[in-house]
Amino acid sequence: MRTKPFTFAAVGLVGLAVLLAVTPARADSTKWIGPDGGNWSNSDNWTNGVPGNAGAEPKQLVQNSGFVGTWNLDADWAITKWTVGSDNANWTLDLNGFDLSTGNTEWFRDVKKNAVNTIGDSVGGGTITFGGQIFYRGGNADAERESSSIVIADAVQATCNPPWPWGPGGWNTGYNPGDCSIIAKDQSSLEMKGGAVNIGNEGYPTVSAPGEGLTVTISARDEARVWWDLPNNNVNLGSTPESMGGGNDWVDNGYGRGWLEVIGNAASIDMAGGLTIGKGGVRVEIDDLAQDAAIDVGKSLVLTTTQTAEIDVDLATGVTPSFMQVFDLIDWGTGDAGATRTGSFTLVSEDVGTWQLIHDDTNKVVQAQYLVPEPATAIVVLSGAVLAMRRRRF
């Protein structure tokens, strides 16, 4: 009887089959467990190996261990999915001049308590691209107001590039109250690819949270720049009706605020298209008495009449304007001669009596005028008032 020849190939196939049968399948995620100052490429710093580069397994980095400290990127890296955000997780990822692309990112998908995640670069030239469910806000029942921030620091060049036309912010039901921020500071830059900030979508507005609901702020500080290169689309802040580009129509009830914030004259926010504000508004801190406009809007300025678009003006420590001094806050129509303004801003209640707003449609600028008299002026005004009172007695 003829027998089948014995080959090493056959043994190899049998051995491989046995190996596959007894070896558990490798999970698709891994978690950072490294020390403060640990390197990204060191497999000992991960529960399941270094997260995949260019699609290699494991694909997903899950950073939810509450790590506090600095972890170091030590090569250009790309991962398919990045799930980050946990209570009290105050860490810094040092890019060290390298580039990180995170693909579909769930960054504080559910807002966490007292959490600040910073992307820095001690070398210079580093970049990060992220985008996905950012401050998405799940339906967990929690009445405690929480705070989560993403900080782009040093000279990092960041791009928020979600796989859909809207940007960060909740758009589901069942929100908990929370304050969320993406902050660009130092000499960093942040390009926003999604044209909405906390807008709600597909009939699910941010209306069911108690208190003030969810607020999302995009902030530029120091010498940082934030911009939208979307000439054919408006940037939408806060819950806005369908006619304003915000999904389905709804009654807002006051929740779902979006804010733009500029702190300091050297920082800026600009957009190629128009700006639509439903619920939320603009905050500006003045640190230079010759301050230029903080926000540049390329096309029309649309302020919904059924909701409240607010302006909040602050002064940096040691800065005192002169009586009736005027500051430009928002330039609009800078790229469109036919641009128009619809609706008006209102001051936040704390600013009433200190500032008044000027909507100058001729020069297409929104300004704030300082109403607090200087001490000498105040004495003159007071003296005149007293004299007038005395005259009325006769």
In tens, the pLDDT along 39-98 reads 999 999 988 888 876 556 667 777 666 788 999 999 999 888 888 888 778 899 999 999
Cβ neighbors of 292 (< 8 A, separation 6 or more) are 265, 328
Which tokens in the block code for residue 78? 């790309």
CA dist 114 and 219 (Å) reads 18
Is residue 196 within 8 A of residue 206, CB to CB? The reply is no
Residue 45 lies in a domain: no
The answer to whether position 15 is within a domain reads no
- Model-level pTM? 0.83
Supply the Cα-derived Rg of the chain in whole angstroms: 27
Q: How far apart are CA 125 and CA 345, in angstroms?
A: 39
Please return the burial class of 138, using the count of CB atoms within 10 Å of its CB with bins 0-12, 13-18 and 19+. Answer: middle
pLDDT tens sequence for the chain (394 residues): 334 343 434 434 344 343 333 333 344 788 888 999 999 999 999 888 888 765 566 677 776 667 889 999 999 998 888 888 887 788 999 999 999 998 788 888 777 888 899 999 999 999 999 887 788 765 555 667 788 899 999 999 999 887 666 667 755 445 566 788 999 999 999 999 876 776 543 334 444 444 556 788 999 999 999 999 988 888 888 765 544 444 333 344 445 678 999 998 899 999 999 998 877 899 999 998 988 889 999 999 998 766 678 999 999 999 999 999 999 999 999 999 999 999 999 999 999 999 999 999 999 999 999 999 987 554 444 445 444 444 433 3
38 found inside a domain: no
State how many domains the chain has.
Answer: 1
Q: Please list the residues that pair with 262 across neighbouring strands.
A: 220, 284
Would 236 be classed as within a structural domain? yes
Q: What is the DSSP string of 316-345?
A: -TT--PPTT-EEEEEEE-TT-TT--EES--
Phi, psi (degrees; rounded to nearest 5) at 128 = -140, 135
Q: Which domain covers residue 240, as residue numbers?
A: 95-392
Query: Which residue type occupies 343?
Result: G
The DSSP secondary structure of 115-177, one letter per residue, reads EEEEEE-SSS--EEEEEEEES--------S-EEEEEEE-TT-EEEE--SSS--SS--SSSPPP
CA pair distance 332, 274, nearest whole angstrom: 8
- Kindly state whether residue 253 falls inside one of the protein's structural domains: yes
Residue 273 lies in a domain: yes
Tell me if 54 is assigned to some domain.
no
> Does the residue 327 lie in any domain?
yes
Check the CA dihedral 209-149-34-93 and report its sign: positive
Q: pLDDT, tens digit, for every residue of 205-250?
A: 444 444 556 788 999 999 999 999 988 888 888 765 544 444 333 3
State yes or no: cis peptide before 58, omega within 30 of 0.
Answer: yes
> 384 burial class (0-12, 13-18, 19+ CB within 10 angstroms)?
exposed
